[in-house]
Amino acid sequence: MSPLYAAIDLGSNSFHMLIVREVGGAIQTVAKVKRKVRLASGLNQANELDHPAMTRGWQCLSLFAEQLRDIDADNLIIVATATLRQATNRQQFITKAEQILGHPLQVISGDEEASIIYRGVACTSSGQGKRLVIDIGGASTELIVGEQNQAMLLNSLDMGCVTWLKRYFDGPESLNSATFDQAIAAAKATLRPYVSHYRRLGWQSCIGASGTIQAIQEVMLAQNMAESITLKKLYQLRAQIITCGDFSRLTIQGLSAERQPVFPSGLSILIGLFEELRINEMSLAGGALREGLVYGLLSQQPSSSIRNKTAESFINRHHIDLTQAEQVNHYSRQLALQIVPELNHHERQMLRYASLFHEVGLNIEFKRAPQHAAYIIDHSDLPGFSNEQKHLISAMLLNQRGDWQLEPLKQQRAVPFERSVVLTRLLRIAIILSMRRNHQDYESVSLLQNKEQLNDWTLNMPPGWSTCYPLRNAELYLEQANPADPYSQLQITELIA
């Protein structure tokens, strides 16, 4: 059995423990434990941490200590962030915490925290070009611009969802426009000295990596919004909170009771960041500080994407025929390059992984292999893949052959429904083209679209195709007769020599 590794993060809002092991070159999560401690709420104006907050922290660490007994000291790292950086009496807390845990505790600087957060994001999230990473904690907010595994600009700002709660939302009837305006203005003022540096460097994508941003996305998904976070959606959530007027009446669809107290303050900070940095949209990271700590222990290189390692391990674990999967991937990629408008990087990645995973259900049986594949994807721990991405791949694999089942494609939130149908049609055609499992002979096919109706496709096959490949030709004609919806059409034509 491979050894266990653990990372503990004593945050200003929550304490987290992540335990993993390495299996087949990929990281397998063994346990995740999170407790709301709200350590930052115990800081007074003199930055002294009060005894009730310290007691909550010690009680939480007593729970964590049991799980650490079987982990080698060299495989364990424990760090504390903003609140213990600020607390003038932090040594009192640290001394007893180390007694409870039986292991030393590191209070890391803001820059160290930002650097580790970026490593966690780089290991668990794919993307091209420079990316802006934002992590809103309980007492600090980290902003990093980096490319691939290299952080290029990083800062840790003294604002967080717990400190903003105490400062702006800690009174009766505090959920109003004036309070939000104050909190947003304060966030923008805190950020303003750094804005020019970030705008000058620039970025191609923005990624959020904190409980605040995860909670915002959970609320959006519960309200049937797409998963990407935009300023318009943040304004909609602010309006819902203001309508409630007070925390005692704060009920928003998708908002957990645990996150409720710090949700308005975290939202106000994110709105300020969006406005001041002119962010268009944000996606959620697959990991952050804890993952960065773990990958540091494992000496993983961020440039080797954890998502790719997860895929490799998944393929091996489920005995997927990799050669056949790559053949389907070849055809789906070849067809995708001919789609107008072209697929973006995220869509191409999802098509790739659906192609590589499409035969996972065969490990159970053939007849219901698509249903088995969808279930396995939905219920597997796949580090590097968000739940929304898993739901998309699951829905695509469910629809890889036979009659279309559109409801799962409508319910997923990773891409717009129309794009999910495009991705699935490409996968279905690629699977048919790969039926012979002849891995030496790739036929060149072309895909044309109707300029007025992009859902109408014509698939042009090489001369003599129907004679050389009668079975695949027949399957393509069956696919032609089975449109995804009344407005889509697929025509099969054979070119003349």
Instruction: Report the chain (497 residues): mean pLDDT per 10 consecutive residues.
Output: 89 93 79 92 94 97 92 92 95 96 94 92 78 95 92 95 94 92 98 96 92 93 89 97 93 93 97 97 87 79 63 91 94 91 87 97 94 95 80 96 94 87 95 84 80 83 89 92 82 81
Measured in degrees and rounded to the nearest 5, phi and psi for residue 56 equal -60, -40
306-494: CATH number: 1.10.3210.10
pLDDT given at position 300: 46
Same fold: 4-108 with 111-289: yes
CA–CA gap between residue 407 and residue 424 (Å, rounded): 13
H helices of 301-459, in order, are 306-317, 322-336, 345-357, 369-378, 387-398, 406-411, 417-433
CA–CA gap between residue 1 and residue 3 (Å, rounded): 6
Contact at 8 Å (CB) between 143 and 194?
Answer: yes
Which DSSP category does 243 fall into?
H
Contact at 8 Å (CB) between 211 and 259?
Answer: yes
pLDDT given at position 129: 84
pLDDT given at position 331: 94
- Report the CATH fold assignment for 4-108: Nucleotidyltransferase; domain 5 (3.30.420)
Q: Which residues contact 6 (CB under 8 A, 6 or more apart)?
A: 17, 18, 19, 20, 67, 68, 71, 75, 76, 77
pLDDT given at position 299: 61
pLDDT given at position 126: 66
Distances (CA, A) of 489 to 34, 328, 336, 458, 479: 50, 22, 17, 8, 10
Contact at 8 Å (CB) between 206 and 279?
Answer: yes
Would you list the domain boundaries of the chain?
4-108, 111-289, 306-494
Q: Which of 40, 62, 278 is nearest to 170 (CA)?
A: 40
pLDDT given at position 43: 93
Contact at 8 Å (CB) between 13 and 161?
Answer: yes
| 111-289 to CATH, choices 3.40.1080.20, 3.40.50.10490, 3.30.420.150, 1.10.1040.10 | 3.30.420.150
